[in-house]
Amino acid sequence: MTQITTALNSSLYIPSETFITLLSNSLPETPAVCIGCGCDDYHACIDLELHRPCHWLVVDRKIGKGVCSSCPEELERWRESYKSARTIG
């Protein structure tokens, strides 16, 4: 009887690490922040022209900064301040 009980318990056990791994796979660990409006990977703002969540015009994951599609006017400041960043999209 003891052996059966143990088998049932172990089959029901789901390690919490499994859920943490699933969550961290969907988004980067350190969110990049828009230098214009301050939105980030977890809190996208709404693009006023497209009426949908913004996307990155440029983003540099190493420094954790970017310019989102709601702030195209910040691209010039970005180029001056973060010349090493690559353009995406």
Instruction: Give the footprint of Zn ion on this chain (CB under 5 A).
Output: 34, 36-37, 39, 45, 54, 68, 70-71
| Shortest separation between residue 71's beta carbon and Zn ion, angstroms | 4
| Shortest separation between residue 78's beta carbon and Zn ion, angstroms | 11
Count Cβ atoms within 10 A of the Cβ of residue 7 and give its class: 0-12 exposed, 13-18 middle, 19 or more buried. exposed
| Shortest separation between residue 73's beta carbon and Zn ion, angstroms | 10
Q: Which lies closer to Zn ion via its Cβ, residue 19 or residue 38?
A: 38
Q: Which lies closer to Zn ion via its Cβ, residue 17 or residue 73?
A: 73
CA distances 61 to 29, 33, 67, Å, are: 10, 9, 12
Q: Which lies closer to Zn ion via its Cβ, residue 32 or residue 70?
A: 70
Q: Which amino acid is at 30?
A: T
Q: Is 59 helix (H, G, I), strand (E, B) or coil?
A: strand
